[in-house]
Amino acid sequence: MASEFLLELNDIEAGYGRAALVLRGLTVRVPPASVVCLVGPNGAGKSTVLKVASGMLTPRAGNIVVDGDDVTGKSPQQMLATGLSHVLQGHSVFREMTVGENVLLGAYSVKDRKVIEERSSFVKNLFPIVGERWGQLAGLLSGGQQKQVEFARSLMVSPKVVLLDEPSMGLDPKTTTKVFEQIARMRDAGTAVLLVEQNARRALESADIGCVLDLGKVHITGPAPELLADPKLGELYLGGRPAGLPAD
Ligand SMILES: Nc1ncnc2c1ncn2[C@@H]1O[C@H](COP(=O)(O)OP(=O)(O)OP(=O)(O)O)[C@@H](O)[C@H]1O
């Protein structure tokens, strides 16, 4: 029987070295064909959640389940092999390499040339700019186009869930809108997405499910439109009231 969730982080406790815990009993679940968005104040632990999910940080308690299999304690390479692909915060495109070379880096663990060709065609189709600029230096692309190269690279392992850390960072509002459209395309093409964002309101507008993280726990989770419409949540975490709502 297929699992109800592609990724489950259950009751996770995690932190860095001897410092106090950052995550204190956090639970996040990602259903198939969904974009789940984690929002919360600076330093709440959003990026730490993704590091735990991708095996960069081993939790001190709790478990990680991918499509029904407990994968807690696996290395980043093993997590990638189980179907979790992490796109880190900031820009990770190699500017002096071509777009194609950047994308193919994501397929370094894939040995079958035919599979690599099939997946290359898939990402070129999903992100047309990647196909159009395949042979050009990646450094010549705009910030939003480079993001698409990063997304394409992450899809070359055919992941179950892509983990996106602040995909809108450094992008102007128009480009941000385009990047969120590309994220929805990834979901529609069959890859679930867990993303974290500072730009909470904008991210929730494009997400299916929202999770509000504070003090190392998820305090509220639900359909993103409901979270967006909640005036209390708006004031506390989303930088103001929903549009059109009168003041008390
Ligand atoms: N490598 C690290 N070593 C030690 N502490 C760290 C490390 N990375 C993060 N932290 C600490 O963990 C806490 C949570 O950080 P994290 O980056 O997960 O938060 P965040 O919610 O993503 O923040 P932001 O929105 O500002 O990016 C912070 O107090 C931070 O200082």
What is the three-state SS of 19-38?
CCEEEEEEEEEECCCCEEEE
Q: Are 66 and 4 in contact (CB under 8 A)?
A: no
166-173 average pLDDT score: 89
Q: Tell me: the pLDDT tens digits for 48-59?
A: 999 999 999 999
Residue 168 has pLDDT above 60, yes or no: yes
Residue 241 has pLDDT above 60, yes or no: no
Mean pLDDT of all residues belonging to the chain: 91
- Residue-level pLDDT at 110: 86
What percent of the chain has a predicted confidence (pLDDT) above 70?
95
Structure tokens at 135: 């042979």
Residue 240 has pLDDT above 80, yes or no: no
* CB of 106 closer than 6 angstroms to any ligand 1 atom: no
Per-domain boundaries in the chain: 7-90+161-237
Residue 152 has pLDDT above 70, yes or no: yes
In the chain, where do the E strands start and end? 7-15, 21-30, 35-39, 61-66, 69-70, 84-87, 161-165, 192-196, 209-214, 217-223
From the list 120, 147, 155, the residue with the least C-alpha distance to 134 is: 120
* CB of 14 closer than 6 angstroms to any ligand 1 atom: no
* CB of 199 closer than 6 angstroms to any ligand 1 atom: no
**CATH number for domain 7-90+161-237, candidates 3.20.20.70, 3.90.180.10, 3.40.50.300, 1.10.150.110:** 3.40.50.300
Q: Which residues contact 152 (CB under 8 A, 6 or more apart)?
A: 103, 106, 123, 124, 126, 127, 130
From the list 79, 54, 38, 55, the residue with the least C-alpha distance to 166 is: 38
Residue closest via CA to ligand 1's atom 30 equals: 43
C-alpha 204/C-alpha 172 separation (Å) is: 17
Q: Tell me: the pLDDT tens digits for 190-219?
A: 999 999 998 888 899 999 999 999 889 998
Q: What atom in ligand 1 is closest to the CA of residue 165?
A: 22
Q: Which residue has the tokens 């789940």?
A: 36
Q: What atom in ligand 1 is closest to the CA of residue 49?
A: 18
Cβ neighbour number for residue 188 with a 10 Å cutoff: 11
Residue closest via CA to ligand 1's atom 25 equals: 42
Q: What atom in ligand 1 is closest to the CA of residue 213?
A: 21
C-alpha 144/C-alpha 41 separation (Å) is: 25
